[in-house]
Amino acid sequence: MSGNKTAVVTGGASGIGEATVMRFAAAGWTVVIGDINVERAGIVAEAAREAGAAAVHVIPLDLADETSVAAFAERTDDECGSVDAVVNSGGILQNGIRFNDMPVDEFDAVWRINVRGTLLINQAFGRRMTVAGSGSIINMCSLTTYRPSPQPAYAPAKVALKSMTETMAADFGPSGVRVNAVAPGYTLTPAMKARIDEGARDPQAILDKSAIKRLVEPSDVAEAVFFLCSDAASAITGVVLPVDCGWLAYSAYTSYASQPG
């Protein structure tokens, strides 16, 4: 059981965020779902209660709006008190585009939500956790944290989140707060499925470059997140953990000029 622990999950209404909510729920935690889609979050909340969550709170959250983030943190305080884990799953994707063709507005939107929104959440809860002297924060990196991709807004944003994770880990560590990140591979979220269906992603190309010949499931990432927030990871901070079916290793291995016979 959780021992009445509380986890905050942004973007908890779908995809990796939803799977993360369900993983904490199965362990008996209280879960706070922050999402702009309150209706869908309510559906996830009901499933989380049935899965064993001690309690579930749905609080509206727009990561692009500083006032919304502040209100979200205040309501979490009022309804739950102290928080043991914060998981930054909220964010938006970007389809492939040539660098010169990308509208600056698209860049601004990705960074406003994925980087600035994550920073705002981390400041709001980081202040509380460092005063309390305990807690775990998880940021959401990506394969693009380590490899370039034709996503000139999304990829640099995920590199920035790696640096943010390391900076926070060093800053918060002496107070007893751990900060890590996960780097999901090509994950079969609803957003990914939609992009596959519209031809914006090639699933066979992904499998061809993966050591384990399948796509990552949201539950795979949720398990890694839960581990990093658990006491089993009490000596781990400042790391980015790839959950990618071996894509990073295999794509490099198979591109070597001389392959073994």
Tell me the catalytic residues. Answer: 154
DSSP string, the chain: --SS-EEEEETTTSHHHHHHHHHHHHTT-EEEEEES-HHHHHHHHHHHHHHT-SEEEEEE--TT-HHHHHHHHHHHHHHH-S-SEEEE----------GGG--HHHHHHHIIIIIIHHHHHHHHHHHHHHHHT-EEEEEE--GGGTS--S-TTHHHHHHHHHHHHHHHHHHHGGGTEEEEEEEE-SB--HHHHHHHHTTSS-HHHHHHT-SSSSPBPHHHHHHHHHHHHSGGGTT--S-EEEESTTHHHHHHHTTSSS---
C-beta separation of 181 from 188 below 8 A: no
Q: What tokens were used for 25?
A: 């729920």
